[in-house]
Amino acid sequence: MATEVRFSKVDELRESGQELLLALLNTTPTVSGDRQDDLADHSSAVVWLAANVEDPPGATDLVQLREVRAGLQSVVSGAEAPAVLADVLEQARLAPALSGNSVSWTIQAPAQALVAARVLLAWDWMRENMPGRLRPCANPECSRFFVDRSRNNQARWCSMATCGNRMKARRHYARSKRPNVERAARDQYPDSAHDHDHR
């Protein structure tokens, strides 16, 4: 069974899924060191769809949605090429329709693939219009993604208040410990330090 979502402009259609795209990428958060999955089972996936998709299709293929999520996470992280997303894109198409004096656009796909298709269209729009701004958080202990909306496009953290401050504190601690380590090494091997100074 095919279904569709209609928009007045093709860019509006592609751009509209940005929040949905980010929400899907972030359905595998790391909480207290453990990787979670908001789509792990049918009941949790239904809750997520209801919270993030207006009038979600009841026939959404959750296995496919998880595969699209994994593919997007790999592509956005730079681990894989976009070709991994081809299977779902082959099931969707954009169709124009004349209505009065204007043209409207719809994304048409099987009901079970509609959410995945909308997400992929949004990713493609961001790839073209906001290149490099969708990225994973630079905190290796975080598994979230974010959109960098800063002017210089140099943000590194999904949240400055959490990951940013945590990583800055960690770097500060490492720098503060370094002189103590070097001092201990000089105390333990004074001749080596003396020889090094006179090279």
Q: Which of 12-16, 138-142, 170-174 has the highest mean pLDDT?
A: 138-142
Average the pLDDT over 108-121 and give the result.
Answer: 90
Rounded to whole angstroms, the Cα distance separating 183 from 135 reads 40
Helix axis angle for 42-52 and 62-77, nearest 10°, is 70
User: What percentage of residues in the chain have a pLDDT greater than 70?
Assistant: 75
Q: What is the pLDDT of residue 127?
A: 92
Average the pLDDT over 55-81 and give the result.
Answer: 92
Q: What is the pLDDT of residue 189?
A: 55
Residue by residue, DSSP assigns 16-54 as TTHHHHHHHHTSS-EETTEE--TTSSHHHHHHHHHHHSS
pTM for the structure as a whole: 0.78
Q: What is the pLDDT of residue 72?
A: 97
